[in-house]
Homo-oligomer: A and B are copies of this chain.
């Protein structure tokens, strides 16, 4: 690789709102999206909420000349909705489905049925290893009473861990997607602190688009006031995040968003705004490397966010156990009631009524059993994330102590402390 090596990457990201039977003007929007992507010829187009595999196949065919590589990430019952189109071939493909993703009985929200996931594509560009991640986290339906907060924090942690463990030999890491989190939300901070990813919107010197970089805006005719909740001017929940390691540096030359219309001022392509980033990857002499070793202030902000996430997951565990206990009581009462019905059925007086009530009561016990098992599994999933966080927190504290109190820390190290 030459010392004046420079790689330009043009990246497109959009949550497509492509839900069969639900989304308005779906076919027309997908067609116009395909036309736009063909004209613009990005290096990478990362899409979320493509719930129709037929639409993916349509786009794949339409884009086959401009983007010869494409992948659709299948998971869950409906799918992950994630897909990628690329000018450059994929070297490797893998995906990770999030352990926790809402509740099956919240059918009207539907996230549980989707199998939300993170997809990874490894590309080799001019001798450089580029790890591209695309994801979509659980939606936030109410900011005031967000019953999915613990799940979203757990997803953000799994996402951060997946990136951390799979990008160790990558020169450049790129994450695009709909995180369903505002920039200062706990999960977003956790993700950025643990992976070191930087936000294109905050980094670029040349931004043009919606105010404050919002990706859901009131000007978009598909967005209702209800979608924006207490943020009538818009929310920023879709991101382009990146980092470079091992002797490279990356910066965002330009970032554009659509502004409630399609790029030609027509009907919007989706209820979300598209993000279009131009990134430059260059060689970075060792002394100019963005330091991967965190000093005390960074370490302390990591510790704070880890602690906060640990607490939030703890609340989620308590909630999950409460529901499992409630379901346990319902099962107990249902079984007692079934026994009473058996006694009644054996007698003469109320046999008919007892027989009538038998089946709904069996249904109740089975339903409560399913709820019990689900919340037990939820508690286990949250405990798992919490124990991983606790381990990282322990290690981060050790490192902080090593920096601030070298002697004490040295004696700790000698002890070979356990988890």
Cross-chain contact A99 with B120 (CB below 8 angstroms): no
Residues of chain B within 8 A of A253, CB atoms compared:
none
Main secondary structure of the interface of A (DSSP, over half): mixed
Cross-chain contact A419 with B363 (CB below 8 angstroms): no
Instruction: Report copies per complex.
Output: 2
CA A231 to CA B49, docked complex, whole Å: 50
CA A89 to CA B399, docked complex, whole Å: 14
Residues of chain B within 8 A of A69, CB atoms compared:
418-419
Taking the complex as formed, is A93 at the interface, i.e. its CB lies under 8 A from any CB of chain B? yes
Residues of chain B within 8 A of A184, CB atoms compared:
none
CA A377 to CA B96, docked complex, whole Å: 15
Taking the complex as formed, is A115 at the interface, i.e. its CB lies under 8 A from any CB of chain B? yes
Taking the complex as formed, is A333 at the interface, i.e. its CB lies under 8 A from any CB of chain B? no
Interface centre among A70, A89, A376 (most CB of B within 10 A): A89
Taking the complex as formed, is A51 at the interface, i.e. its CB lies under 8 A from any CB of chain B? no
Cross-chain contact B99 with A75 (CB below 8 angstroms): yes
Residues of chain B within 8 A of A115, CB atoms compared:
377, 380
- Which of A139-147, A160-168, A291-299, A403-411 is the interface stretch? A160-168
- Which of A28-36, A235-243, A272-280, A354-362 is the interface stretch? A354-362
The interface bits of chain A over 375-419 (1 if a CB of B lies within 8 angstroms of the residue's CB, else 0) are 011001101100110010001000000000000000000001111
Cross-chain contact A165 with B77 (CB below 8 angstroms): no
Residues of chain B within 8 A of A391, CB atoms compared:
71, 90, 92-93
Taking the complex as formed, is A222 at the interface, i.e. its CB lies under 8 A from any CB of chain B? no
Taking the complex as formed, is A232 at the interface, i.e. its CB lies under 8 A from any CB of chain B? no
Q: A76-B380, A93-B388, A120-B165 are in contact. List 15 more A-B contacts (CB 8 A).
A: A69-B418, A69-B419, A74-B381, A74-B384, A75-B381, A90-B391, A90-B419, A93-B387, A97-B99, A113-B373, A165-B165, A166-B166, A359-B360, A359-B363, A363-B363
Can you report 13 A-B residue pairs in the complex whose CB atoms are below 8 A from each other?
A: A68-B416, A69-B418, A71-B419, A75-B381, A79-B380, A89-B416, A93-B388, A97-B99, A113-B373, A115-B380, A168-B169, A355-B356, A359-B360
| A interface residues, Cβ below 8 angstroms from B | 64, 68-77, 79, 88-97, 99, 113, 115, 120, 161, 165-166, 168-169, 355-356, 359-360, 362-363, 373, 376-377, 380-381, 383-384, 387-388, 391, 395, 416-419
